[in-house]
Structure 1
Amino acid sequence: MGKYRDDAEKLLEYVGGKENIAAVTHCATRMRFVLNDQTKANEKEIEEIPSVKGMFTNAGQFQVIIGNDVSTFYNDFTDVSGIEGVSKEQSKAIAKNNQNIVQRAIATLAEIFTPLLPAIIVGGLMLGLRNFLEGVPLEALGGQTITQASTFWNGVNGFLWLPCEAIFHFLPVGITWSITRKMGTTQILGIVLGITLVSPQLLNAYSVSSTSAAEIAQNYTWDFGFFTIDKIGYQAQVIPAMLAGFLLVYLERFFRKWIPEAVSMIFVPLFSLLPTILAAHMVLGPIGWQIGSGISWVVNAGLTSPLNWLFGFIFGGLYAPLVITGLHHTTLAIDSQLVADFGTTNLWPMIMLSNIAQGTAVLAIWFLHRGNKKEEQVSVPATISAYMGVTEPAMFGINLKYVYPFVAAMVGSAFGGMLITATNTRALGIGVGGLPGFLSFKIENYPMVFISMAVTIAITFVCTIVFRKVTFLNKLEPQLAADTAAAAAVAPTTVAPTTAAPTTAAPEATQVSEETLYAPADGKVVAITEVSDPVFSQKMMGDGFAVQPTNGTIYAPVAGTISSIFETKHAIGILTPGGAEVLVHMGLDTVELKGAPFEVLVSEGDTVTPETKLAVMDLDAVIATGKQTDVLTVITNAEKVRQLSLTTTGTVTAKTAVGSAELN
């Protein structure tokens, strides 16, 4: 009988039975289901299965978190269900059947902009710093700005324009690259196409409005004799780049299908790239510019009209539900277009406040449930994450679970959005969507930004406490209260035996061991809560830490025995003498790479120490696929861990002690 057979049978029943499963696969930690009817999944019962650590839905897949023993669970599940598993890519393809055309379009848009977010965010922060350096007269400097008073800071300010220009002016290059990456075509062609939209020989998009038609005709045209094409650049333009990128993708797919493979390397790029560049400058660019400008004009008009307060109230309140549907990804393109057309955006400030509201709601839940150690493992890091701009852990881990804090956050965000919009407080660009977001505003806007934050926090916190008492908003806690009362009623019968035999309990309480944790690679040590994958950052898998590696040699983070090596080579299990089950996970979501960038140097049953090389990871190959290279060390049997502490963060070398875990 399989180790997880009973749990697998329960999971099969609670997901709606075999007939409700369109496809099933697994990654390093999760069972991934595509269900024919997700409403048939009994989430409450699934949560009670002992081996289940959590669940969530993403991109049409119902994902159940098992842990690093998921491959064994998966084998038992396929045995009891009689269902043959599929690959992860096949599962994704089948999952699209659960999405309508709008959801598919939004998912595509999200996958295009998500890889660009780190650059866009850091660019917004640097613009905010440049604004402070060159635009804020200080009394201490005799009314001068910092750049006027300091040669050094004037140099810093000028230097920072280099990355800012690369990020925002050359945004079309990132967009066309990301489209080809997402659609699986030749990425270098996407990069070349993007460069042709922002080439220095073109008239800069920001100079078009101040350049006469006569000057454009004389100095900025390609003359083909019987027709001309304007040499107009598309710096910071979003829609022209997207239209051109998709045309390139579909042309490449078409010609690759019909051109013989022997000459495809020459003629597929030629027949794909040149027509796209021509169409981009003759048709797609001008049309896309007008569409993008039209959208940004409509949004800007709504946000600057006499009824802008109403627009801000509605958008501020509904942004969080947009995150659930995925529609929030469309705002990235609109924000970028607003910055391109007007130099600032009045949409992003409301997004910033929505993130703060979600974090505050979780903070209120922590306050109401203080002392609940199990919940604190989720609520504390989720609050910090939301205040730093990442709301998914807060929303899916706490607020949607209880409902009433999610509604309270919507109310707080609505009033905050109304206030910041009514005062026409605009951001210089997209920045960190939480408390550090003030850095993306002009210094003269700081007072209103801080007031809007304070209003959002106060209303959200109070509403969370008030809404807890509203019955139809709080379906979960009354049941929890009943369970607690029932537990209290039986408590005396369980306490009596332990008081009668205290001598047997005392030794167990003192059996504590400690495992030293070592850096598995050269690089930067960070807390596990800073990892971008919510399954790890919310400690659903257990506590631990991560290293952002600078080279690919991976060592054992503890002494012990190799207990498992995943078929896809990206994860290795170690059992320590103290009983800790340690997972070494190389990269995020790297199960999709099917072992290609990894070379495992140990075998199951081997004894290892922090001096032992476990594996080699090809960092360049992982990065080329768009994955992150974080190396995670996680103790997955969380019940064994009394306390885990990191004594070292920041840059370290492999085999250096970075912390310890106190074990029961």
Structure 2
Amino acid sequence: MADFKQDAQELLDAIGGKENVNAVTHCATRMRFVLDDPSEADKDRIEDIPSVKGTFTQAGQFQVIIGNRVADFYNEFSAISGLEGVSKDDVKSAGKQNMNSLQRLMAALAEIFTPLIPAIIIGGLILGFRNVLEAVEFGALGGQTIVETSQFWSGVNAFLWLPGEAIFHFLPVGITWSVTRKMGTTQILGIVLGITLVSPQLLNAFGVQDILAGDVNQWDFGFFQLDMIGYQAQVIPAMMAGFLLAYLEKWLRKFIPEAISMIFVPLFALIPTVFVAHAVVGPIGWQLGIWLSQVVQWGLTGTFNWVFGFIFGGLYAPLVITGLHHMTNAIDLQLVADFDQTILWPMIALSNIAQGSAVLGIIWLHRGNEKEQQISIPAMISAYLGVTEPALFGINIKYVYPFVAGMIGSAFAGMTSVALNVASFNIGVGGLPGILSIIPEYWIGFLIAMAIAIVVPIVLVVVFEKNNILTKWENDHLPIPKLGN
């Protein structure tokens, strides 16, 4: 069994000592530090430590990759340093001191949507599977769909709409809950607020024609009326309402005595918010969402949509580094709400594949480098399954040229995807499994784009390294076997 005592002491010294550590914790594979002065951390010295497999900085945190034994390493580090660990939420909060205003905004957006992603991914898979059952005609079935030929699968198809509807039509409930969770206010009030936005009493937001025709029930207050319109699947109205509730609750707690706060804070926070959400915030948020989705859809379907696809495909990986990629969740969900599909999300899956393929190129070129492969192989698998941070921070950004190769491959794959109008039902599993969320009629186009995202980065990594393009061998301390020129 490995003894981490010496390595832990070396890490403590290399990060600037105990005095430089504001907070520390660990996750599944990494030590996560918030440093008072990040410049005091000697990255080269740290990466020379035998137990360390890489370092990177993200969201104001200095992260050191240890691997599956990170818990044992952390215990040794804690014993040597005398530093008590804190929760990951506390580390995130402390890390904000090293973030600028834009990074804080993106971190807040990420904290809202990250808890919702598992449900959204499952919902995307459900919609994709249901479409195969009810919309794809198979020659082996005489040109009929599976639902038309099997009562069992017809029942399965109908049953699966229960969770599908819960995830997407009632998405505002999850959003308002997540906002209150992130803001540290009363979460059940967020849930209740979300329910009031999608109540069965209200006209379903998908009944657009009824809304346009004016066939809408109203609350009649005598001197004014308020349309009873729901906000099913709407993202921006739910976010705006959630923040209104959270800030109102915080403001009320400053003035209402604690002895009666349990009664009057929820009352005076929830009821006014529900009213303002339907009278002001909802309509404004709905219109903002429509404008946003129309602009993006115009870029994705206009004359020069291939240019949009090339740019977005190429720049998505840098967006991941900055944290700005989290805003695409809201855009995707708004596109689905307005157009029943999204052309944007398939490019995200292709970017995952491209960065994973760049790592695969490195694995091939550097075969025999066992220490690097402890990072590169899991990073490649993770990227192919839709999570690119290990690939980006552990390998591609470190060497630069695989990162650029992945960007170029993603750019051409994105251009191809948009040019072929590849669309998905919704957000789904990224990377290679992403095809499960693609509308079946676009599978061939997605497979073509996928092939580009796999082949181009691998070829470019080999070309770049063999020709010393964008390489920085003199700055890298790892012994890397190279192919002959």
TM-score scaled by length of structure 2: 0.91
Q: Indicate whether 1:74 and 2:78 are aligned.
A: yes
Is the contact between residue 31 and residue 74 of structure 1 (CA under 8 Å) also seen in structure 2? no
C-alpha distance 14-171 of structure 1, shift in aligned 2 (>3 A): same
C-alpha distance 4-462 of structure 1, shift in aligned 2 (>3 A): closer
Q: What's the counterpart of residue 144 of structure 2?
A: 144
**How far 1:15 sits from its partner (Å)?**
3.2
**How far 1:39 sits from its partner (Å)?**
4.1
Q: Counterparts in 2 of 1:54-453, with a 5 A limit?
A: 54-64=54-64, 67=70, 68-77=72-81, 87-88=86-87, 91-216=91-216, 220-453=217-450
Is the contact between residue 23 and residue 33 of structure 1 (CA under 8 Å) also seen in structure 2? yes
**How far 1:41 sits from its partner (Å)?**
2.7
Deviation per CA, 1:590-624: give whole Å up to 9, x if none.
xxxxxxxxxxxxxxxxxxxxxxxxxxxxxxxxxxx
Is the contact between residue 26 and residue 74 of structure 1 (CA under 8 Å) also seen in structure 2? no
Q: Secondary structure at the match of 1:205?
A: coil
C-alpha distance 482-435 of structure 1, shift in aligned 2 (>3 A): closer
**How far 1:223 sits from its partner (Å)?**
0.2
Equivalents in 1 of 2:450, 2:252: separation in Å?
53
Is the contact between residue 30 and residue 70 of structure 1 (CA under 8 Å) also seen in structure 2? no
Equivalents in 2 of 1:87, 1:381: separation in Å?
27
**How far 1:335 sits from its partner (Å)?**
0.1
Equivalents in 2 of 1:482, 1:379: separation in Å?
15
Q: Indicate whether 1:38 and 2:38 are aligned.
A: yes
Q: Secondary structure at the match of 1:324?
A: helix
Equivalents in 2 of 1:303, 1:477: separation in Å?
42
Equivalents in 1 of 2:143, 2:297: separation in Å?
34
Deviation per CA, 1:154-203: give whole Å up to 9, x if none.
11111111111111111000001111111111111111100000011101
Q: What's the counterpart of residue 23 of structure 1?
A: 22
Equivalents in 1 of 2:480, 2:363: separation in Å?
20
Q: Secondary structure at the match of 1:471?
A: coil
**How far 1:478 sits from its partner (Å)?**
8.2
Deviation per CA, 1:465-499: give whole Å up to 9, x if none.
111134352213785687879xxxxxxxxxxxxxx
Q: Secondary structure at the match of 2:63?
A: strand
C-alpha distance 103-63 of structure 1, shift in aligned 2 (>3 A): same
Deviation per CA, 1:546-578: give whole Å up to 9, x if none.
xxxxxxxxxxxxxxxxxxxxxxxxxxxxxxxxx
Is the contact between residue 53 and residue 372 of structure 2 (CA under 8 Å) also seen in structure 1? no
**How far 1:10 sits from its partner (Å)?**
4.8
Q: Percent identity?
A: 62
Is the contact between residue 174 and residue 191 of structure 2 (CA under 8 Å) also seen in structure 1? yes
Q: Counterparts in 2 of 1:632-651, with a 5 A limit?
A: none
Structure 2 counterpart of 1:295, which letter? Answer: L
Equivalents in 2 of 1:344, 1:30: separation in Å?
37
C-alpha distance 421-4 of structure 1, shift in aligned 2 (>3 A): closer
Deviation per CA, 1:51-87: give whole Å up to 9, x if none.
5454332321213356324344235335xxxxx8785
Structure 2 counterpart of 1:201, which letter? Answer: Q
Deviation per CA, 1:401-422: give whole Å up to 9, x if none.
2221111111100000001101
**How far 1:442 sits from its partner (Å)?**
2.2
Q: Which has the higher helix share?
A: 2
Equivalents in 1 of 2:320, 2:332: separation in Å?
16
C-alpha distance 479-275 of structure 1, shift in aligned 2 (>3 A): closer
Q: Indicate whether 1:473 and 2:442 are aligned.
A: no
**How far 1:104 sits from its partner (Å)?**
0.7
C-alpha distance 470-246 of structure 1, shift in aligned 2 (>3 A): farther
C-alpha distance 32-144 of structure 1, shift in aligned 2 (>3 A): closer
Is the contact between residue 12 and residue 77 of structure 2 (CA under 8 Å) also seen in structure 1? no
Q: Secondary structure at the match of 2:234?
A: coil
Deviation per CA, 1:361-414: give whole Å up to 9, x if none.
111122112233333333223222211211122222222222211111111000
Is the contact between residue 356 and residue 388 of structure 2 (CA under 8 Å) also seen in structure 1? yes
Q: Secondary structure at the match of 1:25?
A: strand
Can you give the 5+ residue segments of structure 1 that lack an aligned partner in the other structure?
79-83, 486-664
C-alpha distance 13-481 of structure 1, shift in aligned 2 (>3 A): closer
* Larger Rg belongs to: 1
**How far 1:244 sits from its partner (Å)?**
0.5
Q: Secondary structure at the match of 2:97?
A: helix
Equivalents in 1 of 2:478, 2:386: separation in Å?
33
Structure 2 counterpart of 1:231, which letter? Answer: M
Equivalents in 1 of 2:141, 2:479: separation in Å?
64
Structure 2 counterpart of 1:251, which letter? Answer: L
C-alpha distance 231-365 of structure 1, shift in aligned 2 (>3 A): same
TM-score scaled by length of structure 1: 0.67
Equivalents in 1 of 2:480, 2:357: separation in Å?
27
**How far 1:359 sits from its partner (Å)?**
1.3
Equivalents in 2 of 1:383, 1:392: separation in Å?
10
Q: Secondary structure at the match of 1:202?
A: coil
C-alpha distance 165-8 of structure 1, shift in aligned 2 (>3 A): closer
Can you give the 5+ residue segments of structure 2 that lack an aligned partner in the other structure?
none
Q: Indicate the larger mover: 112-121 or 389-398.
A: 389-398
Equivalents in 1 of 2:166, 2:5: separation in Å?
55
Q: What's the counterpart of residue 639 of structure 1?
A: none
